[in-house]
Structure formats: C-alpha cells, structure tokens
Structure 1
Amino acid sequence: MGDLLLIFAAALGAASGVGAAGALALRALRGRSVTVHVVALLTVTVAAVVAGVVVVAEAMFLSAHDLEVVLITVSAAAVVSLAMGWLFGRRLAAAAVWADQARQRERRVEQGRRDLVAWVSHDLRTPLAGLRAMAEALEDRVVRDPATVAEYHRRIRVETDRMARLVDDLFELSRINAGALRLSLAAVPLRDVVSDALAGTAPLAAARRIRLEAAEQGWPTVVASEPELARVVGNLLVNAVRYTPDDGTVRVESGRDAESAWLAVTDTCGGIPERDLSRLFEVAFRGEPARTPRPRDGGAAPSGGLGLAIVRGLVEAHGGRVEVHNVAGGCRFVVRLRPAGT
C-alpha cells in the first residue's frame, strides 16, 4: 500500500508540473478559437499522462525497452485523442457560430416585429383620427355645404381604401413569413406582366408628370406564379414612382444572362444613402425623412414600409433574388428569376 501511495504521489507531482505549465499556456491562448482551446487542453492532458508514466517508470526501474513500449502506447492514444479533440473542437466552434447567428436572427426578427407594430400603429392612428373627425362632423351636421360634404365622403373612401391595402399587405407578408404561400408555377412572359403593371401605375405617374418607359426588346419568359410576379412588378413600379420627383423618369427593362432572367426598374430618385441599401427590404424600414413618401391625401401611403419587404419575400419564394444599387441620378432594382426552358 505504501508503494502505491509513493507511485501516486510521484505521478501526481509530475502531472501537476505539466498542468501548471498548461494553465499558463491556456491563459496565453485567450481569445483564440474553441478548436485551439480544446486541442491545447488535450495536449496538456496527454503530456501529463506521459510525464507521470516516465516518472513512475524511472522509480520502478523499468527497462528502456519496457519504457519505450509504454510511451509508444501512450503516443498512439494521444494521436487518437488529439484527432478526436480537433474534430470535436471544430464541431463545437461551428455550433457556437450557428448559435450566435441564430441569436442575431432572433434579435433582428424581434426588432422587426417591434418596428412593424410601431409603424402600423403610427400609420393607422392618423387616418383613423381623420375618419372619426369627418364622420362626427357629418353626423353632427357641422358640415352642411354640399361640396364640403362630398369632399368628406371622398376622403373617407380614400382613407378606407388605403387602410384596406395596408391590411392586404400585412396579410400577404404574414403568409410569406409563415411559409403558407403556395405558388402555381408556369411559363410567364415578362413583357405581358410589365405591360399590365405599367397600365396600373400610369394614373399615379401621370398625376406627378412622371414618364414611364419600357424597353422595346429583350423580354424573356420566366418560371413564376403570375399573380405574385405581377405584385412584385407593381410594387417596384409604385415604389419608384413614389420616390421619384415630379417630371422624373421610371424605366423598366429586362434581359437574360448566363445565370438567370432579370428585370430592372430604374428611377431618378437621386439615389439612396449607402447605409440604407442593405436595410431597404426590411419590414417597415423607411430610411431618412427626405425619402419618406408624403401622400397628397394624407394618411398611410400605399404599401409604404411593406411593399419592398413583400417584393423580397415573393422573389425568394420563387427561388430568385432581388438587389438594389445606386446609378447616376437614381437607383436600380434588379429581380433575377429562373428563365423558362431551363
């Protein structure tokens, strides 16, 4: 029993010395990756075992051959342990990165929800207050002049239509985010979709003397669901018209390259601050006040803050992508989709 205690004490002393050195090494490695820490920890452990074996072997007067056999055995186990530790460290590091990205995504989603609630509350409060004031004025007969009564009725209808469009946008966005969107894919000629969208946007553009232009050639056929694609094009055109100053120009063109079919909407809005480009498709993001639309009839702007988020959701549901960048005098939105026949 006494010999065993002596062996234990000798091994503990040798391993403690290695452990102290390993603690200093780990302290020096602060800030390095998880893989480095795991490999360093296993290296210290193996070194402690080797030191203990050598000390005990010397105390037991083992032959050089027996000591060599023991060390070879320990070395083989060390190689396996270090390899497994390296793999485990890589997986642990990847899991940590994934968890951090998941937390960031969760924070962004939560912030997006708060922004959406705040935005919807703001954009509903003003028109609802106006509707109530006009309704009370009509009910109390404060307003009796036929022309004023007719104007109140018109404004009530306009505000009601705007809020209905806002509710439709919220419903569409909820379908996209919940994964409940079901697409009926078919070969859709882009020229036909753009032609209909231009016709629908023409009155809004004409009211501000904005020229709508479309390329004569280069219109491919894409694989898409026509109603959703029409909404994408319509939202992009409305967004371009809303942000383009009076007497400006909005141009639509399309084409096909080696990777995909593309549709581009270019306006003369004056450009978007670089810091806002990456956030332009976020829910309820409006950017700087200079780019915040001011509807002529007051109240919530059509698709304001939701239109581009819906565009991105619908395009990504098609397996495509949408991007935006500044050009001379304005900005350019580009939608990429899979061309028909591929």
Structure 2
Amino acid sequence: MIPFHAFAEVVAYAAGAALVAGGVGVGLLYALRARSITTLLAVVSAATVLATVAGIVTITLKMLITDHDRSVTLTVTAIAGLVGLGVSLVLGHRLIAGTRALLGSVRRAGDDGRFVPPDRTLPAELDELAAELSAAYARLETARARERTLEASRRELVAWVSHDLRTPLAGLRAMAEALEDGVVADAETVRRYHAQIRAEADRLAAMVDDLFELSRIHAGALRLSRRRVGLAELVSDTVAGTEPLARAKGVRLSGLAHEILPVEADAAELGRALRNLVVNAIRHTPEDGGVEVVAGVERGMACVTVSDACGGIPEQDLPRLFDVAFRGEAARTPGGGAGLGLAIARGIVEAHDGEIGVSNAGTGCRFVIRLPL
C-alpha cells in the first residue's frame, strides 16, 4: 500500500500539472471565443489530453518507473486523446451543420414571413429553438394578418365617414345659404330649417363621439371605472332610454332579468354597448315587430341577450358584423352611421373581459353579451 505522504505528493504534482494545462486551455478558449464551435471543442479536447499527459509525465517521473512503462502509458493516453479529439470534431461539425441549417431556415423566412424548420434531425436544444422560432413566426404572422385587417378597416372607415360626413354637411350648407340669402323667409320654413340644422349637428356630434370612442378602444386607452353593477338595473335603464325610439318606430320593446346578477363593470360604458345593440335592433325591426332584452346566466357567465325581428342576416356576413365600417346588405349600425356602433360594443365588452356574438334565431337575430360573474 502506498504511504499517505507519497500519495499526497502524487496528487499535488498531478493537480499542479492539470491546473497549468487547464489554464492554458481557458486562455485559448478566451482568445478563440469568436471562432466556431468545432474549434472550441477541439481546444477543450486538446486541453483535456494535455492535462492528462502532463499529469502522467509528472507522476511517472516522480515514481521513477521504467522508460518502457512510461512510453506505453503515454502512447495509450495519446491514442485516447486523439480519439476524443476526433469525437469532439464530429460533434462540433454536427452542431455547426444544425446551426447553419437553422440559420438558413430563418433567412428564408425573411422573404415570405413563413418559418419552415430544417428537414433534418437537430440536437435537442436546437430542435427546441426551432420549435420556439416556429411559434414566434406564427404569432408574427397572426399579428401581421390582424394589422392588415385593421388597416383595411381603417381605410374602409375613412371612406364611409367621408361619405357620411359629406351628405349632412352639404345639407347644412344648403340650408345655411338659403337662410343667409333670404331665399327662405316664412317663419314655418325657417323653424323647420333650424330644427334640421340642429338635428344634423347632433348627428355629426354623435358620429365624432363614436370615432373618439373607437380610437380610444383601438389605442388601448379606454379606462374603465369598475364597480358592482346589477344587470337588472342596466337592462331597465337601457329599455327606459330606448323606449321613445321603439314607440316612434312602432316596435314592441321589453326587458327582463331572471335574477339579480352583480358584475364588476363600468356602468356607463357597458350601458353604451347594450344601448348600441338595442337601438340597432329597433332600427332593423319592422313595425309591429318586437325587441326583447333578457339578462340571465349561461354556462357560468352573466349573459344579456338582445333579440329582434329583423329577418336575419346572411350567414357570410355574421363573422364580420362587428368589424369597423362593415356593412352587409343592410347596415347593422345605429342610425345607419359609419359602421361604428357594433364595433364599439365589441371593444367595450372585450375591455370588460367578456364576449359578444350574434346568431340568427327565429325571425331575427340574437346578440349576446357574456361577462364574468
């Protein structure tokens, strides 16, 4: 058995030689840190072999073994080192090939925005990176598609708003010029012109308010003052506020809440969304038709439905009904405006973490607002 002091001396010499070789390897890694992975792996392999050889040489000299034994030991160590170096080079080549294949896929994705992972087996880390890149490019494509849709909606909105502004402005100008030039002189006509001017001004002000509200929604600047609100009270207020319009149109309007349903919401904003739906339903329901507003619970969520008798909406128009400025065969917006009412309703409901949808039901449509209880 080797004495302890001799064993400790061997360990000390071997550790010293290994530390010197390791220090040289670390220095080379730092100096070559910008080179390829293959070069770095070769340095690691060479440093390992060098540390082993240095330790063996030091130990054999200390132990005074024969030259033959020393030669055999060094030869075996060198062969093992060369094999390790070869394995390191093969591994480095595989890593570089996988990295370059992944880089090529990224560069090709820059042309059309679609990322296609390399059709070869990659190391686990590179394969995980490829999966993350695929998911990231998919999210980017979704964002681009939404941006294109929003841009198309903005252009369509500008076109509709320009058209809807031009008509009342032309009427306002004509009536103002008639009053200014004295073309209209009798008191009855003057009063009628004044009333029309006031009505058109109110309509334009409402359109500007809608545009401002929609811009806040799209900019994420809609600030909600949430408090506990009863849906029964909200339905009652909405029905009371729209009853004059329904009476003038000859439409039966009713509201019903099956139970007291408290939700955390901004009463003013949520009331505006519901009012948009009810006014929309009244305007598209024929005389003697009915509009019903019902609050209840569906699938664990507070639910408000607005059912009308408009005759239904073409199925192909249903998915786009809440888009900005969308108009199907018949506009589904309050007052036949610029297509903002339903878009505003959707923005407000979604800001409350809710859902809004529409479907054909019976002789008309059924608009549904769902909110967390």
The normalised TM-score by structure 2 is 0.67
The aligned counterpart of 1:106 is: 147
Is residue 227 of structure 1 aligned with residue 268 of structure 2? yes
The aligned counterpart of 1:173 is: 214
- What are the residue-to-residue correspondences of 1:6-25 with 2, within 5 Å? none
SS across alignment from 1:278: helix
Aligned-residue offset at 1:258: 4.2
Structure-2 separation of matches of 1:98 and 1:249: 44
198-207 vs 323-332, greater mean Cα deviation = 198-207
The aligned counterpart of 1:201 is: 242
Which residue of 311, 331, 337 maps to 1:292? 331
Cα–Cα, structure 1 residues 293 and 147, in superposed 2: closer, same or farther, change >3 Å? farther
Aligned-residue offset at 1:89: 2.3
The aligned counterpart of 1:158 is: 199
Letter of the 1:133 counterpart: A
Do 1:165 and 1:303's aligned partners in 2 also have CA atoms closer than 8 Å? no
The aligned counterpart of 1:255 is: 296
Letter of the 2:118 counterpart: V
The aligned counterpart of 2:136 is: 95
Letter of the 1:312 counterpart: R
The aligned counterpart of 1:149 is: 190
Letter of the 1:314 counterpart: I
The aligned counterpart of 1:124 is: 165
Letter of the 1:292 counterpart: A
Is residue 328 of structure 1 aligned with residue 362 of structure 2? yes
State the aligned residue count: 265
Q: If you compute each CA radius of gyration, which structure gives the higher value, 1 or 2? A: 2
Do 2:263 and 2:372's aligned partners in 1 also have CA atoms closer than 8 Å? yes
Aligned-residue offset at 1:263: 0.4
Aligned-residue offset at 1:177: 1.2
The aligned counterpart of 2:156 is: 115
Do 1:243 and 1:293's aligned partners in 2 also have CA atoms closer than 8 Å? yes
Which residue of 345, 354, 370 maps to 1:311? 345
Structure-1 separation of matches of 2:332 and 2:173: 24
Cα–Cα, structure 1 residues 328 and 219, in superposed 2: closer, same or farther, change >3 Å? farther
Do 2:333 and 2:341's aligned partners in 1 also have CA atoms closer than 8 Å? no
Cα–Cα, structure 1 residues 264 and 321, in superposed 2: closer, same or farther, change >3 Å? same
The aligned counterpart of 1:215 is: 256
Aligned-residue offset at 1:294: 10
Do 2:321 and 2:332's aligned partners in 1 also have CA atoms closer than 8 Å? no
Is residue 187 of structure 1 aligned with residue 236 of structure 2? no
Structure-1 separation of matches of 2:372 and 2:138: 32
Is residue 338 of structure 1 aligned with residue 372 of structure 2? yes
Aligned-residue offset at 1:141: 0.7
**Per-residue Cα deviation, 1:127-167 (whole angstroms, up to 9, x for no partner):** 00000000000110111122111111111111000000001
Aligned-residue offset at 1:34: 5.3
Of all paired residues, the percent bearing the same amino acid is 55
Cα–Cα, structure 1 residues 294 and 235, in superposed 2: closer, same or farther, change >3 Å? closer
Structure-1 separation of matches of 2:333 and 2:368: 25
Structure-1 separation of matches of 2:273 and 2:188: 39
Q: Relative contact order (C-alpha < 8 Å, sep 6+): which is higher? A: 1
The aligned counterpart of 2:321 is: 280
**Per-residue Cα deviation, 1:59-93 (whole angstroms, up to 9, x for no partner):** xxxxxxxxxxxxxxxxxxxxxx4323322321222
CA RMSD of aligned residues (A): 2.5
Letter of the 2:214 counterpart: L
Aligned-residue offset at 1:292: 2.9
SS across alignment from 1:158: helix
**Per-residue Cα deviation, 1:82-135 (whole angstroms, up to 9, x for no partner):** 323322321222122122112111111111110111111010000000000000
Is residue 38 of structure 1 aligned with residue 121 of structure 2? no
Do 2:354 and 2:369's aligned partners in 1 also have CA atoms closer than 8 Å? yes
Do 2:333 and 2:340's aligned partners in 1 also have CA atoms closer than 8 Å? no
**Stretches of structure 2 lacking an aligned partner (at least 5 in a row):** 1-92, 98-113
Aligned-residue offset at 1:215: 2.2
Do 1:38 and 1:85's aligned partners in 2 also have CA atoms closer than 8 Å? no
4+ aligned runs moved over 2 Å, structure 1: 81-86, 215-219, 292-295, 301-304
